[in-house]
Structure formats: C-alpha cells, structure tokens
Amino acid sequence: MATPAIRMFRRLEGLFCVYKPSGVHWKLVRDSVETNLLKGLNATSSQPLPQEVRFLAHPVSETEAPKGLTLSASSVPVLSKHPLVTGPEFQHIRVGVGHRLDAFSSGVLVLAVGNGNKALNDLYRTRVTRDYTLEGEFGTATDDFSHTGRVVERSTYGHITQDKLDKVLAMLQGANQKALLMYSNVDMHSQEAYEMAVQGLLGPEGKSQPILTGLRCIRFQPPNFTLEVQCLNETQKYLCKVVHEIGLELRSTAACKGVRRTRDGPFTLQDALTHHHWTASDVIRAIRQYHSKRNAKYTHTQIKDTALQPPEESTT
Amino acid sequence: MSWLCLVEYDRAESRIQLLITMASSCTQLCLQCRRFLCSKTVASTWQYCTQVRHCIAITRVPTKILNGSFIIKGNPTTTQAKQRWKQQMFCYSDLAAKHLATQVKEDKGVEEVSTAEVVPYKSPLLPIRDALLATESQMSLDLDAAAKFSALEVISDEEAVHISVPSAIPPASTSLRDYVDKSETLSKLVQLGVNLWKLEQRPNVGSMLLRLNFNTDVAPRLLFLKEIGVEDSRFGYIITHNPFILTESLEHLQSRVNYLKSKKFNSETVASMVSRAPYLLNFSVKRLDNRLGFYQQQLNLSASSTRNIVARLPRLLCGSLEPVKENLKVCEIELGFKENEIQHIVIAVPKVLTANKRKLTQIFDFLHNIMKVPHNLIAKFPQVLNSKYLRLRERHLFLEYLGKAQYDPTLPNYISLDRLVSLPDETFCTELALATLDDFCLFQKTL
C-alpha cells in the first residue's frame, strides 16, 4: 500500500519549468527545488506505527525474567519504524535539468522529477528551438562579451542606425540558414529534401554548431538595443558572442547586458514558476497544467511544428 | 568421612598421573605448533582447547586450581548425584591442598617435570582459569561429564538465574534502528523527540548513546536541564543537536550555569540560551569567559549590552572567534563603517557577526552602489544586511521600474529600508509599490 508521501510523489513526477534569476547557478536552483519538494513530501502525514506484542515484566527486572513472575502481554508500538529513527521517507529525489542556463543569464529552465527525466530526454531528442532576448549596449567591448567583464575597447556608435542593424541581422540570419541546411545531412537536390523543407523539418540531427534560426531587433535606442533570437544547440556564451560580432560588423563594439530565455521548447514564460513558488503544491499544479496542455495539443502537433519555425519555410 | 577421603585421595592421585600424561601430550602438541605454526596441528590443538573451554562453560563442573600449579581434578563420580558431590567438595579441596604439599616433597622430580611441561600448555587456558578461580569451582577434563547435563535436566532456580541468555541484538550494525526496541535509553530518547536518524550519521555518537544507561546517565542531566528552566519540549532539540551533553559531568554543567548566573544573566535568560544553543554548556568556564571578554572589548560595549547580544544570539559563545574578527574587519575596512556605526549595527542585529562575509559584501555593494543608500542610513536600518540579496534586488528593481525607488528620508514618498525588506510580498505590493501581486510576479519574469 502506498503511503501518502508516495502518492504525492507520483503526482510530482513530470516536467515543469522555473524562472531562474540571474546571478544564481543552475545547480543551486535545482538543489533548492529538490529540498523544497522533499520538504513538501516529508511533511505529509506519516503512517501510524505498527504494534507489536511483547511480554513485559516488572519494570525492575529484565524483560526475560526467569520465573515468569509478572509477565504480561501488551501491545506496544514498534519504535524502530518511528520517523525519528528511520529518517524521512524520501531522502533524495531525482530532479533533472533541461538545457542549461549559466549563472549570468536568467529565464525559463526546464526541470524534471522522477520519471519525468525520461520524458525530458525524449523532449531534447526531438529538435527543440529556444527563444532568447538579448540586451546589448554599443560602445564597449569586454573580454567575456558581457557588461561585467574587463573593458578591452571603446568606440563611438553615433553612426549606427536601425537600418544598418537590421541589414547586419539579416545577413547573419542568412549565414545561419545556410549552416542549417549544411547540418541537416540531406542532399539538397533531392525530392526528400524538398518535402522536408516544405514541412519545415530540415535541421541538424543531435549535436551541431549553434544555429540561429531567427534574429530580430525589437528595440533600438542607441546605445541600448534588444534582440529576439530563436536558436538551436546554443550556449549563452555563444549568444553573447553574437552580440559582440554584431557590434564589430557595424564598425563599432557591443557588449551583452543580459541574456534571458523566454521559451524552451513547449515551455514559455507564462508557465515558469518564480522562486517564491518553488513549493511542492505549486509544482504539482504546474505539472498537471503541462500534461493537460500537451494532451490537448497532441492532435495538432503537425500544425504547431510548422507554425513554430517560420524562418525555415521562407528558405524553401 | 576419613575413609572416603582416602579413597578420594587414591583416586585423585591416579587421576593426576593420568592428567600429567595428557598434559605432556598436549605440550608436545604445543611444541609442535611452535615449529609448524601454520600446520594443521595448530588448528587441532586450538580445537581441543576450545573444546575444553566449551565443556567448561557448558557443564560448569566445579574446578579447583591451587598455587598456580596445574592440577586438574577429574570427576570420577559421574554417577553420583550432584548434591552429594557438592558436599564432598569442601573436604576434597582441603585434602587436595595437603596432598599437594606432600606430593611436592615425595616426588619432586616428577612434579617439576610436569609443571615445566605444563607451562606452555597453560597459556591458552589462562584467562579461563583466572575467571574460574574467582568462582572457586572445579574443572573437569572428563568429556563424559558434558553429557551429564542434558537440556532436559531440571535445574534449580538460582542456577537458572545465572544462566546468561545471549541477547538478540546484533553485535554490530550501521543503524540505531536495530537497537531501538531493545535499548531502554534509545526508546526513551525517541519518546523525548530526539532525532536518532540525524544522530547516527555523526561518527561515534551511535555507540556512545548505546552505552548510556537511562537511569544513571540520561535522567539526571534531563532533570538538571529542567531545574535550570529549560522547557520539556526543547529536550529533543537539545539532544539532537548536542548528544554530548549526556556525557558531560553534572558538576561541570552546574559550574557553567553558575558562571553565567554570576555574570548577571537571569535564570530565564540562561534557560533560553541553553535551549537555543545546545553546545553552550559543553564549553569550559574559561572559554565562555574568554568569549564574553572578547565581545565586550572588541566592540567597546557596556556589560549590559554585551549580555543583551549574547542572550539574543547565544551561538556567539559557542562558535569560533576567527570569522567574527573577519566580519568586523570587513565592516570596518571593506564596507567603511565607523566604529560607533558598527557598534550600533551589532547591537541591533547581532547576526551580522556570524553572517557569511561574501553575502554581506554582496548586499552592501547592491545597497550602496546601485540603490545609492549612504552609510548612515544603512547603519540606521541594519536589518537590511540580514535580508536576502535576491529579495532586495527584485524589490528595488520593481520600485525603480515604477519610479518609486526613493530612499532619502528628507524627500517626499520616502520608503524606509526596514519596510522594504521586512514586509511580506503581499503587503509590499499593496503598501509600497501600490501594485498587485500578479504584476510583481510578472515583473520578476522580466529580470
């Protein structure tokens, strides 16, 4: 028979996402979620102690006194099953982390509990794209491409206009489209490639270089600008480097002020739990919500897939 | 009686001779073992010895050893009733003593040979013999005697009491779980609310707890704690965190409490200090005095305010002084507080002394360089140094986004630092930010 804690754990198994604040390592996020979940699990009401019949003698003499003077059968709780002796029922649970976020960046971080780890692996085996917003600032270049690094170069940015920035972004996106076709391992002159491209399924299998499938400027107030990026197989360091290269391409310099992930596969900002909500009850709700959403959308996956990747359609 | 003694005498003599031959054969075996330590004979002799031992232990036939010489008396009267044998025993032993004296004179040569030969054989049996000497009983090598006491024989109650029953508890275990139901101390501790699971993970604590006797070790200390005013419900917490209080001597505990009282801590304060810092009573008076002196001198505090901080954070008296010194230096040099400001901060929030210094500088850096709060304001609201960095950051950024981040008390719409960090989220949103909790939540996702 399952104890309340086990039943609660069954409801916890699955995928959910949290909002990682910047300046915190993802391991710390994972560990604090795990401790919160353990706290919630072990706070559930424990089983009553099993009873055991024992022959109790006089309190003075030993339990197995010879003459059977005052032996009396009585039922006492088995203390070796007491929660203070056995320890909490759950001492660790498997919490898996999806695509990582480094300490500098913030945003949606996918976590999986228990059996959800399998689903997590399956999720990342399909080609998932991620959305980021990048905050950039013209005028400085730093050694680690972020605004906190050591400044290695300063430059002017008065000549940069939104047109010029868009031109550079379009060029960068074109180069990445070419890379996408190159990594997709299909002959470009075949019917197969045509059909895949029509469905928007062209892309790298498994590991590849980082590929930006979409790039757009959503705010331009020199020296600050904000980019929206869709990408595959990226790291946050690479995105910072992209900002740096855009600066160089515009005959200026740029440093990345923030990397924020707004979507990871099917997980969006709306689903993400902020750090006040990293408790067992909120996680259970988030997991149930994800399940119901996925079941509802399961029939429309084809449509959703093509809709999610508009840039690929444009190449065909 | 005399004729009986004579008969016994004769029998004993013949017995001794028989035994001497047996012993000499044994010594031969022993000598052999010396030469071939690893050969089979070792095993066989040991087997023999253990067999003898076993036989002794089980049959508990009385033995008598005199003057350290090796005289083993057999029990020729195997068919006799036990009671009768007991009666005989007294005169028999007397006689044996006399006989020994005469025998030594009569055939000294034989005796010397026998003792000399016997010496190496003695060694494996020595511990048993010592034990048996105390019981003043006689030992038999007659292996038939073992068969005499079968399991079905009726034994008297007195004897039955002395039979030691091997207890069912395992001799070694990785967990206290196997012992809880058997040991009175452990089961009482569980009923007090002590977390044995936490304790057994600490080295040596488990075996220490098992060795304690509840009535003589545990109960007096609990009574002592109760006497100084510790609440019953705190016992579990205290012992879970400091099991070594159960091995500390009562005089020491009393002297430390007396010391604290002599420093004008009143008895309720002492009780609350002990229940919040369980290790407090395990430190010597000298060490406690050292700590108190350090805080008073280092911070230039008056006696009453020293008492005040220590009573609020008794952990200060238990821990090491190095991190405290470091924190004071960090406040003075790195953060640039003046001495009277540090004093004020410490009196208001003693926890600053034991805080992590990296966390302290991180919060101060945010307060001073990003929120632009001057030193005197931070010293006025030292509670901010004790708050969480993430909480402070997201609240400040939210207020800044709304255009309400105004921490200067001389200007309108002033927001005090104290309220900024100490209010819970709902009241912060409604009272300071004038926004809803959902807005705040959404804002956090844009950081």
Question: Which among A46, A80, A104, A147 is the top mutation candidate for probing chain B, defined by the most B β-carbons within 10 Å of its own β-carbon?
Answer: A80
Of the candidates B384, B417, B435, which is a domain's last residue? B384
Q: In the prediction, which pLDDT does A235 show?
A: 92
Q: What is the mean pLDDT of residues B280-295?
A: 90
Q: In the prediction, which pLDDT does B137 show?
A: 42
Residues B377 and B391 grouped into a single domain: no
Of A16, A206, A8, A10, give the one whose Cα is nearest residue A97.
Answer: A16
Residue of chain A minimizing CA distance to B158: A66
Confidence of residue B17 (pLDDT cuts 50, 70, 90): low
Residue of chain B minimizing CA distance to A20: B445
Lowest mean pLDDT among A70-79, B144-153, B162-171, B331-340: B144-153
Would B371 be classed as within a structural domain?
yes
Instruction: Please tell me the total count of domains within chain B.
Output: 2
For residue A263, is pLDDT > 70? yes
Using CB atoms, pick whichever of A79, A86, A269 lies closest to residue B445.
A269
% of chain A at pLDDT higher than 90 = 53
Helices vs. strands in chain A: H and E counts, helices first: 10, 12
For residue A220, is pLDDT > 70? yes
Q: In the prediction, which pLDDT does B166 show?
A: 61
- The interface predicted TM-score (ipTM) is 0.83
Q: What is the mean pLDDT of residues A305-316?
A: 44
Residue of chain B minimizing CA distance to A22: B447
Lowest mean pLDDT among A138-152, B121-135, B214-228: B121-135
Min distance B430 CA to chain A CA atoms (Å): 17
The answer to whether B196 contacts A85, with C-beta atoms less than 8 Å apart, is yes
Average pLDDT for chain B: 74
Would B300 be classed as within a structural domain?
no
Q: In the prediction, which pLDDT does B172 show?
A: 80
Would B349 be classed as within a structural domain?
yes
Q: In the prediction, which pLDDT does B362 show?
A: 93
Q: What is the mean pLDDT of residues A279-287?
A: 92
Lowest mean pLDDT among A271-280, B148-157, B398-407: B148-157
The answer to whether A80 contacts B447, with C-beta atoms less than 8 Å apart, is no
Q: What is the mean pLDDT of residues B222-249?
A: 90
For residue B94, is pLDDT > 50? no
How many C-beta atoms lie closer than 10 Å to residue B312's C-beta?
Answer: 17
Q: With an 8 Å Cβ cutoff, is A56 touching chain B?
A: no
Q: In the prediction, which pLDDT does B102 show?
A: 45
Q: Give the max Cα distance, chain A.
A: 106
Question: Which among A25, A55, A85 is the top mutation candidate for probing chain B, defined by the most B β-carbons within 10 Å of its own β-carbon?
Answer: A85
Q: What is the 3-state secondary structure (H, E, C) of chain B?
A: CHHHHHHHHHHHHHHHHHHHHHHHHHHHHHHHHHHCCCCHHHHHHHHHHHHHHHHHHHHCCCCCCCCCCCCCCCCCCCCCCHHHHHHHHHHHHHHHHHHHHHHHHHCHHHHHHHHHHHHHHHHHHHHHHHHHHHHCCCCCCCCHHHHHCCCCCCCCHHHHHHCCCCCCCCCCCCCCHHHHCCCHHHHHHHHHCCCHHHHHCCCCHHHHHHHCCHHHHHHHHHHHHHHCCCCHHHHHHHHHHCHHHHCCCHHHHHHHHHHHHHCCCCHHHHHHHHHHCCCHHHCCHHHHHHHHHHHHHHCCCCHHHHHHHHHHCCHHHHCCCHHHHHHHHHHHHHCCCCHHHHHHHHHHCHHHHHCCHHHHHHHHHHHHHHCCCCHHHHHHCHHHHHCCHHHHHHHHHHHHHHCCCCCCCCCCCCCCHHHHHHCCHHHHHHHHHCCCHHHHHHHHCCC
CB A256 within 8 A of CB A147: yes
Question: Which among B175, B358, B363, B447 is the top mutation candidate for probing chain A, defined by the most A β-carbons within 10 Å of its own β-carbon?
Answer: B447
Using CB atoms, pick whichever of A22, A64, A78 lies closest to residue B447.
A22
Q: In the prediction, which pLDDT does B178 show?
A: 83
Lowest mean pLDDT among A139-143, A300-304, B5-9, B215-219: B5-9
Interface A-B: count of C-beta contacts within 8 A: 56
Confidence of residue B91 (pLDDT cuts 50, 70, 90): very low
Question: Which among B169, B180, B198, B395 is the top mutation candidate for probing chain A, defined by the most A β-carbons within 10 Å of its own β-carbon?
Answer: B180
Q: In the prediction, which pLDDT does A44 show?
A: 85
Min distance B333 CA to chain A CA atoms (Å): 24
Would B226 be classed as within a structural domain?
no
Domain with CATH 3.30.2350.10 in chain A: 129-264
Residues B396 and B380 grouped into a single domain: no
The answer to whether A85 contacts B394, with C-beta atoms less than 8 Å apart, is no
Residues B374 and B427 grouped into a single domain: no
Would B345 be classed as within a structural domain?
yes
Higher pLDDT, B126 or A148: A148
Using CB atoms, pick whichever of B181, B394, B444 lies closest to residue A80.
B181
Lowest mean pLDDT among A2-16, A260-274, B16-30: B16-30
Q: In the prediction, which pLDDT does A207 show?
A: 82
Q: What is the mean pLDDT of residues A257-277?
A: 91
Q: In the prediction, which pLDDT does A57 show?
A: 63
Q: Which domain holds residue B391?
A: 387-446
Q: In the prediction, which pLDDT does B367 show?
A: 93
Q: With an 8 Å Cβ cutoff, is A217 touching chain B?
A: no
For residue B16, is pLDDT > 90? no
Residues B429 and B391 grouped into a single domain: yes
Whole-model pTM above 0.80?
no
Would B418 be classed as within a structural domain?
yes
For residue B112, is pLDDT > 80? no
Decide if A102 is catalytic.
Answer: yes
Confidence of residue B42 (pLDDT cuts 50, 70, 90): very low
Residue of chain B minimizing CA distance to A19: B445
B180 interaction partners in chain A (CB closer than 8 Å): 79-80, 82, 85
Of the candidates B368, B384, B400, which is a domain's last residue? B384
Confidence of residue B101 (pLDDT cuts 50, 70, 90): very low
Of the candidates B369, B384, B399, which is a domain's last residue? B384
Would B430 be classed as within a structural domain?
yes
Average pLDDT for chain A: 85
Confidence of residue B405 (pLDDT cuts 50, 70, 90): confident
Would B148 be classed as within a structural domain?
no
B168 interaction partners in chain A (CB closer than 8 Å): none
Min distance A20 CA to chain B CA atoms (Å): 9
The span from the CA of B153 to the CA of A164, in Å, is 110
Chain B, window 339-398: residues with a beta carbon less than 8 angstroms from a chain A beta carbon: 390, 394
For residue A253, is pLDDT > 80? yes
For residue A68, is pLDDT > 80? no
Q: In the prediction, which pLDDT does B47 show?
A: 46
Confidence of residue B131 (pLDDT cuts 50, 70, 90): very low
A274 interaction partners in chain B (CB closer than 8 Å): 441, 444-445
The span from the CA of B397 to the CA of A22, in Å, is 13
The answer to whether B447 contacts A21, with C-beta atoms less than 8 Å apart, is yes
Q: What is the CATH number of domain A129-264?
A: 3.30.2350.10
For residue A201, is pLDDT > 60? yes
Q: With an 8 Å Cβ cutoff, is B202 touching chain A?
A: no
% of chain B at pLDDT higher than 70 = 64
**Which one of A31, A102, A163, A305 is the catalytic residue?**
A102
Residue B129, token pair as written in the block: 């013999």
